[in-house]
Amino acid sequence: MMGSLFALGSAFFWAGAVILFKKSGETFSPISLNIYKSIVGLLLVSATMLLLGIPFFPEQPLNSWLLLSLSGFLGITLADLFFFMALNRLGAGMAAIVECLYLPCVLFFSFVLLDEHLGPGGILGGLLVLAAVLVGSFQKKDLTLTPGLAPASRVPAIVAGVFAMIFLALGIVIIKEILTHTDVFWATLVRLGAAIVTLMILVICHPGRKRFLSELKWSRSWLVALPASICGNYIALVLWVAGMKYTTASRAAILNQMSTIFIFILAAVFLKEKITVNKGVAIFMAISGALLTIFT
């Protein structure tokens, strides 16, 4: 139960972060935003570890350090970079549909690498959540690209989103077994540290490095990027890792997919967006699917 609650909490906070990250993408490039949010996450996780007395260098085998570092590279450096590229170019509906690939990707990798199997209730719950996201997202007015973007950019943006979900799923599944005997905050710290190092190497080697570094200087954009990073790369990230630690990867992935449904709800509450019939049905289906997943 605890792992399921962590996974749901992660989905909720990630939903709030996505709304803010979309706004941040208007002033930050995907690389700069990824570096910024990763640094914020690293500082907050480090402060939490200091307060809780969690060691920064526990006695862990080299294999754990390497796999967690690889997980950070795949799940943060690459996955978030591709995700922000897709988020900046796609409308909300299309981005949500592409994100649906996260669930089948985790199910596939957890079956191949962890030999996990879902029971009938879990399968039905997963199908309900997945169908709910599709039903809630499929609205003609939402399936448009960002204003001013040429239609030809749709395919590269969708491809970027697909790669984001593949890297995100693989990055978390490969550390599932390690999480059973490691601290959640330490595991998150190593992933974030590896992501920042690889991102900085990418920036240094990039011809546009001056522009990326200049975007990281203080500006009014921080007023949106900072709360987005706290929600997405600290609270949601820690809860996401905890969800994977305390329940199966398959079950956690189903509940993580609820983030899109939470976006519908948060947009209605804070952005005054109308809850359409599609979204109302989707919310009911998703909640039913989540309950099935948790209690079966």
Provide the sign of the torsion angle of the four alpha carbons 122, 124, 125, 127, taken in this order: positive
DSSP state of 234: I
DSSP state of 151: G
Write down the mean pLDDT value for the chain. Answer: 85
pLDDT tens, position by position, 164-182: 999 999 999 999 999 999 9
Q: Angle formed by the axes of helices 2-24 and 236-246, to 10°?
A: 150
Residue 66: pLDDT over 70: yes
pLDDT band of 92, cuts 50, 70, 90: low
Between the two ends of the chain, the Cα-to-Cα distance in Å is: 11
**DSSP line for 140-166:** GGGS-PSTT--GGGHHHHHHHHHHHHH
Q: What is the pTM of this model?
A: 0.86
Give the residue from 40, 29, 23 showing the smallest Cα distance to 196: 40
Residue 151: pLDDT over 60: no
Lowest average pLDDT, out of 84-98, 192-206, 224-238, goes to: 84-98
Angle, vertex CA 162, rays to CA 156 and CA 163, nearest 5: 90
* Domains of the chain: total: 1
Instruction: Go through the chain and tell me how many residues it has.
Output: 296
pLDDT of 143 reads 44
Q: Is residue 222 within 8 Å of 68, Cβ to Cβ?
A: no
- Segments forming the whole domain that contains residue 241: 2-295
Unique residue bearing structure tokens 């987005």: 228
User: Which residue would you say has higher pLDDT here, 85 or 23?
Assistant: 85
Q: Is residue 66 within 8 Å of 260, Cβ to Cβ?
A: no
pLDDT tens, position by position, 208-265: 788 877 877 877 777 788 999 999 999 999 999 999 999 999 899 989 988 878 887 8
